[in-house]
């Protein structure tokens, strides 16, 4: 079964700093990739997704992610974070044609004003 790795579980940075969160998966075939965000006390919500096409995906709130097939990666980026980006971020992978939706362990991001 595919697995998802997210490193650096806790990230602390100042406002206006750039953010990059790594996501690697372990399956060599076609995958669909997602980043979800969970703000304090709220449900998980979709930030962005990749199915096919342009490997650079733009999502909500200024986030983007790049799919690099050769590296089995789907890293999330934001050039300049705000205090309101404080949240937990989860990468998720589903194998194309399969139904097993697997999540990584998440990155707890704290943005200091």
Partner 1 sequence: SQTIHQWPATLVQPVGSPLSLECTVEGTSNPNLYWYRQAAGRGLQLLFYSVGIGQISSEVPQNLSASRPQDRQFILSSKKLLLSDSGFYLCAWRSREEAFFGQGTRLTVV
Per-residue binding string, partner 1, 50-89, x by CB under 8 A, is ----------------------------------------
Q: How far is the CB of 51 from partner 1 (least distance, A)?
A: 8
| Per-residue tokens: 18 | 């750039």
Asked if 102 touches partner 1 (CB under 8 A), the answer is: yes
Measured CA angle at 104 (ends 66, 44), to 5 deg: 85
Q: Provide CB contacts within 8 A for 48, sequence distance 6+.
A: 34, 35, 57, 58, 59, 60, 63, 64, 65, 76
Q: Is 101 in the site for partner 1 (CB under 8 A)?
A: yes
Examine residue 46 and tell whether it contacts partner 1 (CB under 8 A). yes
Instruction: Evaluate whether 32 touches 93 at the Cβ level (below 8 Å).
Output: yes
Binding site for partner 1 (CB under 8 A): 1, 6, 9, 34, 36, 43-44, 46, 49, 90, 92, 94, 99-106
């Amino acid at each position: 079964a595919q697995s998802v790795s997210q490193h650096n579980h806790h990230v602390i940075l100042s406002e206006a700093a750039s953010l990059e969160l790594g996501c690697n998966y372990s399956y060599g075939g076609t995958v669909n990739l997602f980043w979800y965000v969970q703000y304090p006390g709220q449900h998980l919500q979709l930030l962005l997704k990749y199915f096919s096409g342009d490997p650079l995906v733009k999502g909500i709130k200024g986030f983007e992610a790049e799919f690099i097939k050769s590296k089995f990666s789907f890293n999330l980026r934001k050039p300049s974070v705000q205090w309101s980006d404080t949240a937990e971020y989860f990468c998720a992978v589903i194998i194309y044609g399969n139904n097993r939706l697997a999540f990584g362990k998440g990155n707890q991001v704290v943005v200091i004003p």
